[in-house]
Chains A and B, each alone.
Chain A
Amino acid sequence: MTLRFFDGWDHYATADAAEMWSAFDGTSSGQSIASGAGRRGGNGWTCNTTGRGLTIAIPSTSTVILGFALNMGAAPASAMNIVELREVSTLHIALRINTDLSVSVLRNTTVLGTSASGVITATGFCYVELKTLINDSTGTYEVRVNGGSVLSGTGADTRNSGTSGVITVASILFARGGQIFDDFYICDGAGSVNNDFLGDRRVDAYFPSANGNSSQMVGSDTDSTDNYLLVDETSPNDDTDYVQSDVLNNKDTYTFQNMVHTPSSISGVMALANAKKDDAGTRSIAIVTRSGGADYDGSSHALSTSYTYYRDILETDPATSAAWSLSGFNNAEFGPKVAV
């Protein structure tokens, strides 16, 4: 797998951000879901912080590719880092927006290169992508805006000193408020797909629309009837309603809303469950994907006693081992299963 994470901020509220991302620096004001301010009328994310903003942990990698839609709202009053790639806490590479709406790539605080001015639009969304290889002497970086290259460098020192030269976390942040993020993805260089620039992408959230093939879990309404209604919220409502089971291998699968557009390609599907266990002890769930008439269990996720998101990223349809198609997704079911 090379697609590590993506988010469009359309399936949770601000208070749930730390359940979706590895860390949420919520101590600074102005970080929130920007309701209706994203692309296509959906939500986005806005930051106003000198901290880390939202941070996602990824497996150690020397190559990172990421992209996001960005609406600056206005030219910044001072240069600001909008993305930082770190090895634990040590900053390797930062992507910066300058006051003239050029972009710079920095190794820690050292500017490695700067684009022409005006490559970022002051208002309205543009799609920004960064690809970088961390190395002392053969490092590379490239920035694309709306699919076009605006800055690149090779043979660069992209590795901060005193480190092993890998990226383990990516943060998105701003030094002031008003900017909007949407349609964020991050990949590494492994594997044979999703290991290079993906181009302008969109992230859509879909929710259960009906019962599927399995209804074995017990709902908070004490029955197993129409369980999909207990897990279909557009923001998680925790203990207000839920499904649960302590029986190994019990599972629910649900049908989902059909896709709202006709994509020319699907880079990946992320199946999510907001879940917890109700007491001390070991309990795990897997997220089941039902496609082509068969159930495919995802990886086992050990639960904590607090609600959080557990995710499986499927770059391909498990029934075909090929990229997801519109019909393949529309006919698929997803749901939780007691795995341990």
Chain B
Amino acid sequence: MTVARTTQEVALTLSAVTPVARVSQAATLVLSSNSLHAITSQVCVLMLSENVPDDVVGSNANKYRQIQIAC
């Protein structure tokens, strides 16, 4: 008589799983061209010119005063 002997019975299943995604931090990095501004806070002009003393080309009052002193 033949005896059926089973030493192990294993069932293997192949199935789809549904894993859980866990996120502990969210961040976004963007690499792009930069639309930056040129900012001007002050505009001025300097002029370098001859320094002419007032008594040479100044007011007529100064010239008149000089004449008075000469007289």
A residues sitting closer than 8 Å to B (CB atoms) are 3, 6-8, 11, 39, 127, 183, 185, 198-208, 217, 230-233, 235-246, 252, 254, 256, 259, 261-281, 283-285, 287, 303, 307, 324, 329, 334-336, 338
Contact = CB atoms under 8 A, between A and B. Distances in A.
Given A206-B45, A207-B44, A270-B45, A276 B39 contact: yes
A6 B46 contact: yes
Given A217-B40, A254-B43, A287-B43, 19 more contacts: A11-B44, A201-B49, A203-B47, A236-B42, A239-B39, A242-B40, A243-B40, A246-B36, A246-B37, A252-B40, A256-B45, A262-B57, A270-B46, A279-B37, A281-B33, A285-B40, A307-B41, A329-B47, A334-B45
A271 B43 CA distance: 8
A263 B47 CA distance: 10
A236 B37 CA distance: 18
A256 B44 CA distance: 8
Nearest to A231: B43
B48 A3 contact: yes
A287 B44 CA distance: 11
Given A279-B34, A280-B34, A202 B40 contact: no
Contacts of A274: 40-43
The 8 closest A-B pairs by CB, nearest first: A263-B49, A281-B34, A274-B42, A202-B51, A236-B42, A244-B37, A270-B46, A279-B36
Nearest to A332: B45
Given A262-B57, A279-B34, A206 B47 contact: yes
B35 interface: yes
Contacts of B37: 244-246, 277-279, 283
B46 A199 contact: no
Contact of A204 (B38, B40, B47): B47
B53 to A, nearest CB: 9
A237 B50 CA distance: 31
Contact of A202 (B35, B43, B50): B50
B41 A275 contact: yes
B66 to A, nearest CB: 19
Question: Taking each of A7, A274, A280, A285, which has the highest tally of chain B beta carbons within 10 Å of its own beta carbon?
Answer: A274
Contacts of A269: 45-48
A243 B36 CA distance: 13
29 contacts: A11-B42, A39-B51, A185-B48, A202-B50, A203-B46, A203-B47, A204-B49, A205-B45, A207-B43, A231-B43, A236-B41, A242-B41, A244-B39, A245-B37, A246-B36, A265-B50, A267-B49, A267-B50, A271-B43, A274-B41, A275-B38, A277-B36, A278-B36, A279-B34, A281-B36, A324-B47, A334-B45, A336-B38, A336-B43
A235 B36 CA distance: 25
B52 A263 contact: yes
A147 to B, nearest CB: 10
